[in-house]
Amino acid sequence: MRVLLQRVSQAEVRVDGACVGACGKGLLVLVCAMQGDTEADADRLALKISKLRIFTDDAGKMNRSVSDVGGEALVVSQFTLAADTSRGNRPGFSAAAPPDEGEKLYEYFAAQLASLGIGTQTGRFGADMKVSLTNDGPVTIWMES
């Protein structure tokens, strides 16, 4: 799985003008299931993200996790994280999991993150989504399982 993680002050995702998911202080998690990914990959990433110390402590050092700060997560599917730009000018996305598998792993990943005690909302898989956020820091981290 591929994840682009952003520390945010707030984030929301809209579909057809309606807010379908939002979070306050916490994480925007853009996630893409890749071919061959399993629930074990989702488990590892969810656990790592829940413990990743990217929030500041009283001394101003990144030393606290989203759980430590009582933060939330907005998880949004983004198959374009599978982009292969090595040839030509049009990205290829064949490394992404097929849509039915991708959706299953996306929903599983979001549920795993929530099961770790992080308030979690999601976008809508396969929809044309409009995501807005206030990146805090900015802190943006690329992760792969």
Q: DSSP letter for 102, please.
A: H
Catalytic residue among 78, 112, 120, 122: 78
Note if 109 is an active site residue.
no
C-alpha to C-alpha distance for 74 and 97, rounded to whole angstroms? 21
Catalytic residue among 35, 80, 93, 134: 80
Transcribe 35-54 into DSSP letters.
Answer: TT--HHHHHHHHHHHHH---
- 73 strand-pairing partners: 27, 120
Note if 85 is an active site residue.
no
Note if 79 is an active site residue.
yes
Kindly calculate the radius of gyration of the chain based on its CA atoms and give it in whole angstroms.
15
Catalytic residue among 6, 55, 79, 120: 79
The Cβ of residue 125 has, within 10 Å, a number of other Cβ atoms equal to 16
User: What residues are labeled active site?
Assistant: 78-80
